[in-house]
Amino acid sequence: MSQNYSYSGCVYFDTNIISMVVEHPELYRPLFNFLFENHLCIAFSDALLVELSQATRKHDKFNTFFTILPSAKIKSFEAVIEEEVKSYPKMRTDILLLRPTNSEFGRQTITSWLSSDKIEEPRRNQQLYTKNIKQQLEYVKSNFPPSNQGKYNIEQAEIFAWMVTVQWLKRSYPDFMKKLNDNRRLLKAEAFPSIQLFAYYVYYKYYLDNRQPKELSDFGDLFHLFYFPYCTLIILERNMYSILNQIKSRCKVLDGVEVNNVDFFSNNQFLRG
């Protein structure tokens, strides 16, 4: 099904969606047509590859998925944030794609790559970041009390997102924050949509819903969030979809991004593809 064409945008599927698609090969043709006609490609990140690597019985099916459908490796989330820093106070406009699948893996199939030592570095990095994120969020929560009614509310979400953005930049880009000096209170947090969406999602899931992550692995979904503001379409499992739709209805961080779930594959727009 391979054809040459340029990509004008990215589609991001979470692990559950890809796992569903590979079990229904009849979806490949309409999905390919949809992507081709809309000049889109499927974006995959290190975080996604780490998750896919754990489903060893499906590696061959994942290889078929990425071989048949237009797809491309995207930059690390650290690179995306760094580009936001360099673009400040303007919005980041760099492309998200790093390289097409074929140039990333060469003659090596996705199957062999997912089970090779190459997956260990992104896995270790994710484990390290997970611990750091957990510590950071615990620090923020200790300095971010609930409202006067004793509960966190919607009105506090924007303040929380700004606070997390500042803390992230202070820790990762101290020189950048020093340049702002006394103007850091005027920081345009909206220029960092990757961190903003991360913060909003954490607030809506763990503060408003009063949930507690049971294990470090519960933070796995967070590593996908940094890319979503730069995608054309994201298709997710229902829980994440629900939370992001709440955020999208109240915040601008996902403006221009279509958020969907598995129902996408049964709607008329997709079937016409």
Q: Is 215 within a domain?
A: yes
Q: Is 203 within a domain?
A: yes
User: What b/e string do you get for 132-169 counting C-beta neighbours within 10 Å, with b at 16 or more?
Assistant: ebeebbeebeeebeeeeeeebeeebbbebbbbbbbbbb
Domain span including residue 218: 9-272
Q: Is the peptide bond prior to 89 cis by the omega test (within 30 degrees of 0)?
A: yes
Q: Is 4 within a domain?
A: no
pLDDT tens string for the chain (273 positions)?
Answer: 444 446 789 999 999 999 999 999 999 999 999 999 999 999 999 899 889 998 989 998 998 998 899 988 899 999 999 999 999 999 999 989 876 554 455 445 676 767 777 777 777 887 777 777 777 777 777 788 888 888 899 999 999 999 999 999 999 999 999 888 767 678 999 999 999 999 999 999 989 877 776 665 567 789 999 999 999 999 999 999 999 999 999 999 999 999 999 999 987 566 655
Query: What's the predicted TM-score (pTM) here?
Result: 0.89
pLDDT score of 2: 41
Q: Is 159 within a domain?
A: yes
Number of independent structural domains in the chain = 1
Q: Is 3 within a domain?
A: no
Residue 157 DSSP symbol: H
pLDDT score of 165: 95
Q: Is 63 within a domain?
A: yes
Q: Is 42 within a domain?
A: yes
Reduce the secondary structure of 49-101 to three states and give it as a string: HHHHHCCHHHHHHHHHHHHHCCEEEECCHHHHHHHHHHHCCCCCCCCCEEEEH
Q: Is 1 within a domain?
A: no
